[in-house]
A = this chain, B = another copy of it.
Amino acid sequence: MVSSPRIAIDAMGGDVGPAVMCAGAALAHSRRPDLSFLLFGDESAIRAELAAHPAIAGVTEIVHTPDTISAADKPSQAIRRSKTTSMGRAIAAVKAGEAHAAVSGGNTGALMAMAKLTFRTMKGIDRPALAALLPTLGDNDLVMLDLGANTESDARNLVQFAVMGAAYARVVLDLESPRVQLLNIGTEELKGTDELKDAAAILREADYLGMRFEGFIEGDKISRGDVDVVVTDGFSGNIALKSLEGTARFVTDLLRRAFTSSLRSKIGFLISRPATELLKHHLDPNNHNGAVFLGLNGLVVKSHGSANEKGVANAIRVAARMVREDLTRKIIEDLDNISAHRIEQAAK
């Protein structure tokens, strides 16, 4: 176990850049003072922002990079400029052992492409997946993947996502045998695409995978707290995640309108503010910020481009936790166990 995680941060990524990344690092450090940072980006801009956060001056190193990946850059363009950009250098620092994990709020496609090229996928994994924690009405958050690392996924990919998602859930949710379901448009066995039906058939048979596979789940049941890992292709996962986020925002907007519609409701709102603050806290995407690329031989966390300092601090916390728990090694062990089991089965 790594006791003092050192996090490489792409200080230029995201809608705001150095200001929010530095503030986020400072906030994360105030909660876990064993953290230290490597900040990549425009040195003078970073230095100006860091001046406001003297508490992390002693644990932060700045590495100047002349270039930044923009939201419009294609992954192929980004890869060519990897060595001069804050994003590329943050990832390279993890590869070189100068940091334990990288955090970026920049272009997801570029981040994915660079991370894949730098770390390579784990043995037994064809494609990495993007996983995040979502709030539920139950006692735990849930893990959902893939959230957009891949546009299309076959049955084999989906099974691998399930294995990686279960490993992640064991670590971050502290569950012995997570409940895993495939996102589908119905729960009957004959529903959905061939890829989903084939993946379900494999997962149903595979009792050695260290998870409880419980068939299909529909989009309206995700948040109920009855499942720990929701597995889906990257396209549907991205659509579902963004629909969840959009609706949560839609409802809180409606609520704000409702509460400001009359003097009476304004008074009611003021009195019940502790309750609505609790709701706001629960729904604030910043409290769930930090999506993880699973399946790579290295740790990379994607922070939302519009995350505030609390969101960035949360993404850093997610990265640090994976470092402390040695997530990469645990997933590799799971995959090794599975392939050993398969060889054993085949020999029988």
Contact = CB atoms under 8 A, between A and B. Distances in A.
Interface of A: 72, 74, 137, 148, 151-152, 183, 185, 188, 190, 192-193, 218-224, 232, 234-236, 238-255, 258-259, 261-262, 264-265, 267-276, 278-279, 282-283
Contacts of A249: 220
A183 B236 CA distance: 11
Contacts of A283: 251, 254
15 contacts: A151-B185, A151-B192, A183-B239, A185-B242, A192-B235, A219-B242, A220-B246, A222-B246, A239-B240, A247-B251, A251-B283, A254-B279, A264-B271, A265-B271, A268-B272
Contacts of A279: 251, 254-255, 258
A243 B222 contact: yes
The 4 closest A-B pairs by CB, nearest first: A268-B272, A219-B242, A220-B246, A268-B271
Contacts of A264: 271-272, 274
A77 to B, nearest CB: 11
A198 B152 CA distance: 16
Given A151-B185, A185-B151, A259-B272, A240 B238 contact: no
Contacts of A270: 268
Contact of A240 (B74, B219, B255, B272): B219
Q: Which of A221, A241, A259, A275 has the most CB of B within 10 A?
A: A275
Contacts of A235: 185, 192-193, 236
Contact of A275 (B224, B250, B258): B258
Given A137-B250, A220-B245, A224-B246, 15 more contacts: A74-B190, A183-B239, A193-B235, A221-B242, A222-B243, A222-B246, A223-B246, A236-B236, A240-B240, A247-B251, A261-B278, A264-B272, A265-B274, A268-B272, A272-B272
Nearest to A235: B185
Nearest to A223: B250
Contacts of A253: 137
Nearest to A135: B250
A267 to B, nearest CB: 6
A110 to B, nearest CB: 12
Given A243-B240, A248-B251, A272-B268, A72 B188 contact: yes
